[in-house]
Structure 1
Amino acid sequence: MNHDALEHIVPEEGTPRRKFLKNSLLLTVPALVGGALLPKVSMAATYVPPTRMRGLTRLNVRNYGALGNGTSDDTAAIQAAINALPSDGGTVYIPAGTYMIDAVKSIRLRSKMHLELDPAAVLKAIPNGAEKAYVVLASKCTDVEISGGQIIGERYGHLVTTGEWGHAIFIRGSQRVTIRDIRVADCYGDGISLGAAPVWQSAPIYSEDVAIANVVSTNNRRQALTIGRAKYVQVHDSEFSNSNGVKPETGIDIEPDMPDEGGIADRITIKNCVIRGNRTYGINIFKGARNITIRGCTIEENGSCGLVTVGCTGIYIAVNTVRRNSATGIFIQYDTTNCQISQNTFYDNYLRLGDVDRTAFSLYGWDKKVERDLLYRGEGIVDLRITTNYYR
């Protein structure tokens, strides 16, 4: 993918977890602007992510030698607790403290388990020089849950200047996974990454049925969230912010590997999320992505466009607030098919050219007067349906 160099507007700091749901709910308040009443957004109750199947065993990592003192390497102790779970699985609990993790080795999850961090627990990556390193890795697992506390990467201590694959959480070829109520930050690569697991002389195993809820992913070097080869992904009530450091530098990048060889990201829902302050795009929907819903989100203050599509199909963008992005609010580009854009509210986009005052209005379809907010351009755009949207 060719990622153009783009200007950067320094964003505000990421919203703490206790605030971002409140910020999303502000979208429900009708606004009176220029004598016109903008629509009240109807939003569903807060999403409740699924609990995954597992046994009742509960193990405390302190009983396996983990210290949580911010200096000792606790990787082996936490792994020992995971390995000690019985065949029907259970919960591995991490009490309050700072646990230093060797991300080259990773905390490797197993099927039928919950990695439960105390709200005051932090998993912190030990600086490394590896091309690929993950604090928490779920590879070819089923029925996994990760919740609580924080995972902090080592972007400020990384021992080399190359690479972009230092993630907090990597879900690879796993099914029925829930990630909830957690903050991830300062990673050398992505905060959270979903993808497929390779299989020798066979088709790759996709990640499927993944739920992400009440998460903050901020100040990561590549992406806040990457959705690669994955199916049936639900992302709700979360913040993806301040990605900066190495391209693409987006909040959410829906971009499956090897799209020319059939790689897809399919049936992805992003709902009631805040995507802000990322150096390039807020959301990128790229080749091989299909059946994507973006609904009820705030997409703001990103260093280029708020949302971009290229070479994707089955896109539904509705009831979002898209504002104060440095370039176009929503930019539909070449080979995008079967795309509907409805009931979104736009203002102050293409801010790098200066702010524009205007009276609030609604518009069915498209007109050149809204090209700073909504634009389509390029060959192969088929079945683009722009219904009523709101501008102020």
Structure 2
Amino acid sequence: MTISRRSLLLVAPPAIVAMACAPSASRSTVNVRDHGAVGDGSRDDSAAITAAVAALTSGGVLHFPAGSYRFAQAHPRSGAAVCIAGLSDVDVNFEPGAELVMDNVDPRTATGTSHGVLVRGPATNVSLRNVEVRWARSTKRSMGDGVRIVGYAVDGGGVPNGWSGSPAPVSGVSLSGCVIRSAPQAGVVMLGVSDITVSDLRVEGTQADGLHFNACRRAKVSGHVAVDNGDDGLALVTYFSDQPSFDPAAETFAFPELTDWSNADFAIENVTVSGGRANGIRVAGAQRVDVNGLTVSDKQYGAAVMVDSATSGYDVAWDYLSTRGLSVHGLTADDCETGIHVLARPPVDADPRFSDFSVDVGDARLRRCTNWAVRVESLSSQRVTGVTLGTCTVDSTSAAGGNGGVGLAGTSDVHMDHVTVAHSQAVTLFSAQNTSRLTVGDLELTVTNPDAAANPMPCARFESTAGVIDALALRWPAAPQSWQPMTVDEPTDCNPDSSALAVKALTVEPAEFANRAVTC
């Protein structure tokens, strides 16, 4: 059986019936030890935890004192060790030193059999404080998120195709000081949830994403750390379909246009991602997202920042629209395959929903990228548009892939303020192909290799490219006599309204090579 990445990431538990939610007269606390939990890490506390959760009512607190609470029941009916369904004004509190140990992996298949904590609507004001969930055994990528919260991404109007049952909205969710380790799937997943606060979340060694949002809105994320995850450290992904829909198997929402539920109005700050596969942060089909302070390291199989769109027929099995209103400031990426990647997979027939982005990276420092440091590209004849790069500093040593430089392919309306690339190899540091309306303020390209190369590449290459570069500096102090600083496949033109490339001011060092670079 073939399982798509989306279905595998977001595989759903069995359907559960919402619990009655009569408000309590006063705030009551349900202590898992009062229901027989021992918390010694050895005895099975599954029955006691289930009983404690069953005693929880709206307005109450579920409390875990210090200890290791082993949950060994495989395939629980609720789909999780702690399942909160149809309750509001609920807190789940873990004392310092308390952890939920998931020991219900199927030993025959090494696959997970439930989530750690599951919240289902209708619900408002649900808080998880200092919740720690750890899987006791290593697993394949399979069933089991540390925390999973499923709501309803609709405001009035029609019911999405595929949704059954009554609307079940979830809003006012808060996670603070939580830790998830070794989950078979993601650390934390939220789907169709609004008014979210996530602070000081740490996710380690999960098989899928660290923190994943689908069709959510109005969220603040502060202080998220993802370490050695099997997929993206942070993902904001809302899928595309011809009409609003809900996939009951994957529990995912999809829309034909960007909406206020398309992971909209997110404020994200102080995110650190290290190691693992895929990307540091992935944004697809989202809008109005601000990211401030992002550090990504050792992502050798993806990008520090991936922003992409997709239609069927390419290398992916799911569709999503281009992102609008994404702002990233304070990016540092070290030892990643790619630093910043904006990738459009639009249909051949023009459809701006899949090609017109609005992405602004304010300042970035990208070091030792093994492929591209910055890559903006379209995989069809429809060009990708709307990418702005402010101040970007690139330090690279790569001689493979994109060579650690900046590459544009099939783009339009890309703007760069100040880009500096220093490279230890005599490779192409800036490449533009099939690009129109390119504007660059200041571009500095330097080869630092003190030794002459046998077959040096030009620092800059322009092919079928039109636009304006205000100032371009090409430097290689140790350049051999065979070096050509840059190549242009058609004449440059000082008229910025023409179909050629205008370079207003060119500096070449050593100066003796200046006559080999075409300029105005």
Please give the alpha-carbon distance, in whole angstroms, between the structure 1 residues aligned to 2:204 and 2:320: 34
Note the alpha carbon deviations across 1:270-307, whole angstroms, 9 max, x for none.
111112211x2111111135121111221111112210
C-alpha spacing 1:375/1:142, structure 2 compared with 1 (3 Å): farther
Residues 125-164 of structure 1: per-residue CA shift (max 9 Å, x gap): 334xxxxx32211112211122214111335xxxxxxxxx
Say if 2:310 is the partner of 1:257.
Answer: yes
Q: Which residue of 2 aligns with 1:173?
A: 215
Equivalent residue runs for 1:210-359 within 5 Å: 210-245=266-301, 249-258=302-311, 263-278=321-336, 280-287=337-344, 288=355, 290-311=357-378, 312-324=384-396, 326=398, 328=403, 330-347=405-422, 349=423, 351-353=424-426
Measure, in 1, the Cα distance between the counterparts of 2:172 and 2:235. Answer: 19
Letter of the 1:116 counterpart: L
Query: 1:263 Cα shift?
Result: 2.3
Deviation at 1:123, TM superposition (A): 0.5
Q: Is 2:281–2:306's contact at 8 Å kept on the other side of the alignment? A: yes
* Cα pair distance change 1:114/1:378, threshold 3 Å: farther
- 1:310, distance to aligned residue in structure 2 (A): 0.9
In the other structure, the counterpart of 2:130 is: 94
Compute the displacement of 1:241 (Å). Answer: 1.9
**Superimposed CA distance per residue, residues 190-209 of structure 1 (whole angstroms, 9 cap, x where no aligned partner):** 11111114568433462222
Counterpart contact for 2:219–2:265, Cα < 8 Å: yes
Contact 1:342 1:389 survives alignment (8 Å)? no
* Structure 2 letter corresponding to 1:387: D
Pairwise mapping of residues 39-78 of structure 1 onto structure 2 (< 5 A)?
57=89, 59-62=91-94, 67-68=98-99, 70=101, 78=117
- Structure 1 pair 377/296, CA: closer, same or farther in 2 (3 Å)? same
Q: Which amino acid aligns with 1:300?
A: R
Distance 1:387 1:342, change over 3 A: farther
Structure 1 residues 367 and 76: CA distance shift in structure 2, 3 A: closer
Matched, 1:117 2:176: yes
Q: Structure 1's 147 and 378: CA in aligned 2 closer, same or farther, altered over 3 A?
A: farther
Q: Distance in 2 between matches of 1:284 and 1:331?
A: 10
Measured after TM superposition, the shift of residue 88 of structure 1 is 3.5
Query: What is the alpha-carbon distance in structure 1 between the residues aligned to residue 374 and residue 278 of structure 2?
Result: 17
Q: Structure 2 regions of 5+ residues with no counterpart?
A: 1-87, 105-112, 152-169, 245-254, 314-318, 345-354, 379-383, 430-439, 448-455, 476-520
Q: C-alpha offsets along residues 207-260 of structure 1, whole Å, 9 cap, x if unaligned?
A: 222222101011121111111111112111111221134xxx211111122299
User: Aligned-residue CA RMSD in angstroms?
Assistant: 3.9
The equivalent residue for 1:137 is 189
For residues 176 and 443 of structure 2, the distance between their equivalents in structure 1, rounded to whole angstroms, comes to 48
Letter in 1 for 2:409: Y
CA drift of 1:321 comes to 1.8
Structure 2 letter corresponding to 1:337: S
What SS does the corresponding residue of 1:226 show, helix, strand or coil? strand
Asked if the contact 2:134–2:183 (Cα under 8 Å) also holds between the matched residues in 1, the reply is: no
Higher Rg of the two aligned structures = 2
Residue identity in the other structure for 1:250: A
In the TM superposition, residue 338 of structure 1 has moved relative to its aligned partner by: 1.0
Aligned residue type for 2:225: R
What is the one-letter code of the residue matched to 2:369?
N
Find out whether 1:196 has 2:238 as its counterpart: yes
The Cα of 1:323 is off from its aligned counterpart by 1.6
- The answer to whether the 8 Å contact 1:341/1:386 transfers is no
**1 CA distance for matches of 2:335 and 2:271?**
16
Question: Quick one: which amino acid aligns to residue 268 of structure 1?
Answer: L
| Shift in CA distance, 334/197, structure 1 to aligned 2, threshold 3 Å | closer
Task: Provide closer, same or farther for how the CA distance between residues 105 and 330 of structure 1 changes in structure 2, counting only shifts above 3 A.
Answer: same
Structure 2 CA distance for partners of 1:264 and 1:72, relative to 1, 3 Å: same
TM-score by length of 1: 0.64
Aligned length: 300
Distance in structure 2 (CA, Å) of the matches to 1:231 and 1:259: 22
TM-score, L = length of structure 2: 0.50
Deviation at 1:104, TM superposition (A): 2.3
Q: 1:206 pairs with 250, 258, 262, which one?
A: 262
Q: Rate the CA distance shift 1:201–1:369 in 2: closer, same or farther, 3 A.
A: closer
**Which 5+ residue runs of structure 1 have no aligned equivalent?**
1-55, 128-132, 156-165, 357-362
Shift in alpha-carbon separation, 1:274–1:201, aligned structure 2, 3 A: same
Q: 1:346 to 1:390 in 2, by over 3 A?
A: farther
Q: 1:285 to 1:199 in 2, by over 3 A?
A: closer
Give the deviation of 1:112 after TM superposition: 2.6
* Aligned partners of 1:342 and 1:387 also within 8 Å: no
Cα distance, 1:168 vs structure 2: 1.4
Take 2:473 and 2:91, find their aligned partners in 1: how far apart are those partners? 52
Q: How far is the alpha carbon of 1:346 from its aligned partner?
A: 3.0
Give the C-alpha shift of residue 374 in structure 1. 7.1
